[in-house]
């Protein structure tokens, strides 16, 4: 909810949005959700609301985070097409939604693991160099 809160509030206040503004707010939500979930799972929820912490974590995650965002967005778009195609089957929609949660968690875990591996490589002790 927090990631898409700007989008929800603007739609609630304005009756009509430009297409560019709609896509921009959706992109902002898609950029926030994975890093917000990662920070909330690995740290404190209050850190997930701090924009400076978010930007720092996105910078440290690097290109893996860009791949995560693109994959997360494509899966969400694909999921909406599947739900439209099988509108009468709530069971199928539930299975796809459950898979989506696991898929997103797996992507977030991969990015987090890669970031930890990079952090470990940077923390070389001076005695180990001798």
What CA–CA distance (Å, rounded) separates 114 from 98? 25
Which 3 state secondary structure label does DSSP give 64? helix
| Region of residue 62 (phi > 0: left; psi between -120 and 50: alpha; otherwise: beta) | left
pLDDT per residue over 43-84, tens digit each?
777 777 787 888 887 887 778 888 888 888 888 888 888 878
Looking at per-residue pLDDT, the higher value among 120 and 96 belongs to 96
pLDDT per residue over 33-44, tens digit each?
777 777 777 777
Angle at 30 between CA 93 and CA 99, to 5 degrees: 30
- Token digits of residue 113: 């693991």
What CA–CA distance (Å, rounded) separates 122 from 5? 36
> Model pTM?
0.62
DSSP 84-98: HHTTT-HHHHHHHHH
pLDDT surpassing 60 at residue 125: no
pLDDT recorded at residue 76: 80
């Amino acid at each position: 909810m927090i990631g898409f809160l700007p989008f929800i509030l603007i739609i609630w206040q304005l009756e009509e949005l430009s297409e560019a503004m709609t896509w921009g707010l959706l992109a902002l939500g898609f950029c926030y959700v994975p890093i917000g979930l990662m920070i909330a799972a690995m740290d404190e929820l209050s850190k997930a609301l701090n924009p400076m912490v978010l930007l720092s974590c996105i910078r440290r995650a690097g290109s893996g985070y860009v791949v995560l965002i693109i994959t997360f967005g494509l899966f969400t778009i694909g999921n909406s097409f599947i739900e439209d195609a099988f509108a009468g089957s709530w069971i199928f929609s539930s299975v796809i939604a459950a898979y989506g949660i696991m898929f997103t968690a797996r992507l977030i875990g991969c990015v987090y693991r890669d970031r930890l591996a990079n952090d470990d490589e940077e923390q070389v002790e001076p005695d180990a160099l001798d």
